[in-house]
Amino acid sequence: MIYPIIMAGGSGSRLWPLSRHLNPKQFLELGEMGKSMLQAAIIRLQGLDISPPCLICNEQHRFLAAEQLRQLGMEQAAIMLEPAGRNTAPAIALAALQAVEVGDPILLVLAADHLIQDVAAFHVSVRAAQVLAEAGKLVTFGVVPTHPETGYGYIEKGAPVGAGFAVSRFVEKPDIHTAQEYLRGGNHLWNSGMFMFRASRYLAELERFHPEILAACRSALAGGTQDMHFTRIDSKAFLACPDKSIDYAVMERTTEAVMVPLDAGWSDIGSWSALWDVGIKDEAGNVFKGDVIGIKTTNSYVHGDSRLITTLGVDDLVVVETKDAVLVARKSEVQDVRMIVERLKAEDRNEHLNHREVYRPWGVYEAVDNGHRYQVKRITVNPGAKLSVQMHHHRAEHWIVVSGTAKVTNGDNTYLVAENQSTYIPVGQVHSLENPGVIPLEVIEVQSGSYLGEDDIVRFDDKYGRI
């Protein structure tokens, strides 16, 4: 049986403004199937002999990941939380160490933000790789290139080994001339960043080449705790771990690396131009998402998130609109979108962190309006969910129930607030909001006070384990 390890870290900054630090691309619906990239990665495993997957993600994304797994009926999946990114070699080591405690499975290491259009071909490659992994090989998947690509690393084929090839060498991202030579030669495949091997084999090779990584991961896992669905590893031990990719740490050094070709419509969706590449185009070469009218528009990608977007007389553009930001760029320049994100960080703005809609374990809230000493939010509380018992030093809150029924704790009093009714929470009052019903609770919250930041929250009790 195969044990899938799904890497769901990363911020996806090149897909800003849709991808944000607290809601990155792996949790967004970017394909054509109405599921997030993470959910699509799990769904495409159906038909293989697999156990429930292990998801490795950032601490800040834990509830977002858990909710998306719940939507797929995958509550039994393991979720391992990294306190900080230390690249792929340590992350895979954590999963492998945990796996050998209950057996020694074949690990299938996948990224949560890849697009694979031909699932049947993907399964063929996985089954071929499984045979090699069971024989003790460390397998990487090489994507059959469709064009000269300078944004990917390459793997050079060696001698045939079963259904794959020995890895002759890994090659860094080439210039366009070299990429064209690789395409013509047919001996170099794109490095997909997907792997397959037995857990113990990976750990043995990691101990051989980088024992300090393995030691740090062992210490981090041993000092960890189990919290609801989550495995929390020891932060201090893990932060002492070297930052190394699996390619540099193991795959480029081991003599047991083999490559299995993958020809399955693969893309890592690393930029807006990549989404245009794989999107369904109209007769003018455009990919339109949302409410878009394009006139005399060609070869462009236009994404409207919340309003009508119109274009006139443009070519080769990317236009992406969200409720709080708009990106306009030439397709040839979108690899540099991260420069915008860095500027936002440098100017201490919030648009790189999150959207106006912010997901919480109990539901979601949307910032509707704000001004001097006031802020308005629309809050949606899931059935059975409850906000923490909390208080604020600097703001009062007025709640108006739009739909559903709210159970409100207001100081020493607990009472129900029905649709079209309201209640007031004074400054400094201990309070909580709960949805006791079976439909989502919709509340308009009006905050007023001298300071309205999210850090003005003192939590006394929280069912989700937040501090």
Q: What one-character-per-residue DSSP string does 228-255 give? A: TTEEEPPHHHHHTS----HIIIIITT-S
Contact call for residues 360 and 382 (beta carbons, < 8 A): no
- pTM confidence score: 0.89
Of the CA atoms within 13 Å of residue 102, those in its CB half-sphere come to 8
Tell me which residue of 75, 16, 85, 72 sits closest to 44, measured CA to CA: 72
Distance separating alpha carbons of residues 387 and 361, to the nearest angstrom: 9
172-177, long-range: CB within 8 Å, 24+ apart, which pairs? 174/150, 175/150, 176/148, 176/150
CA 452 to each of CA 22, 111, 354, 371: distance values in angstroms, whole numbers, following the listed order:
20, 38, 17, 10
Extents of the domains making up the chain: 2-267, 272-343, 357-461
Instruction: Say whether 357-461 and 2-267 share the same fold.
Output: no
Distance separating alpha carbons of residues 252 and 176, to the nearest angstrom: 23
Classify burial at 76, counting beta carbons within 10 Å of its beta carbon; exposed 0-12, middle 13-18, buried 19 or more: exposed
Q: Please, where are the H alpha helices in 288-404?
A: 337-346
Can you give the pLDDT at residue 32? 64
Residue 438: CB atoms within 10 A of its CB come to 8
463: CB partners within 8 A, 6+ apart: 386, 388
Q: Which fold has domain 2-267?
A: Spore Coat Polysaccharide Biosynthesis Protein SpsA; Chain A (3.90.550)
Contact call for residues 260 and 129 (beta carbons, < 8 A): yes
Name the phi and psi angles at 211, rounded to 5: -60, -25
Can you give the pLDDT at residue 34? 82
Angle at 151 between CA 326 and CA 275, to 5 degrees: 40
Secondary element (H or E) of residue 113:
none
Can you give the pLDDT at residue 84? 86
List the chain pLDDT tens, one digit each, 467 residues.
899 999 998 888 999 999 999 899 999 998 766 899 999 999 999 999 999 999 999 988 988 899 899 899 998 899 999 988 899 999 999 999 999 998 999 999 999 999 999 999 999 999 999 999 999 999 999 999 999 998 899 999 999 999 999 999 999 999 999 999 999 999 999 999 999 999 999 999 999 999 999 999 999 999 999 877 789 999 999 999 999 999 999 999 999 999 999 999 999 898 999 999 999 999 999 999 999 999 999 999 999 999 999 999 999 999 999 999 999 999 999 989 999 999 999 999 989 998 888 888 899 999 999 899 999 999 999 999 999 999 999 999 999 999 999 999 999 999 999 999 999 999 999 999 999 999 999 999 999 999 998 889 999 999 887 77
DSSP state, residue 136: T
Three-class secondary structure of residue 96 per DSSP:
helix
Pairing of strands 2-7, 54-58: parallel
Secondary element (H or E) of residue 180:
helix 176-185
Can you give the pLDDT at residue 221? 94
Residue type, 425: I
Radius of gyration, alpha carbons of the chain: 24
Distance separating alpha carbons of residues 351 and 332, to the nearest angstrom: 23
Q: Please, where are the H alpha helices in 245-299?
A: 246, 272-278
The listed CATH number (2.60.120.10, 3.30.390.30, 1.10.3720.10, 1.10.287.3510) that belongs to domain 357-461:
2.60.120.10
Contact call for residues 361 and 385 (beta carbons, < 8 A): yes
Can you give the pLDDT at residue 216? 96
Distance separating alpha carbons of residues 34 and 46, to the nearest angstrom: 17
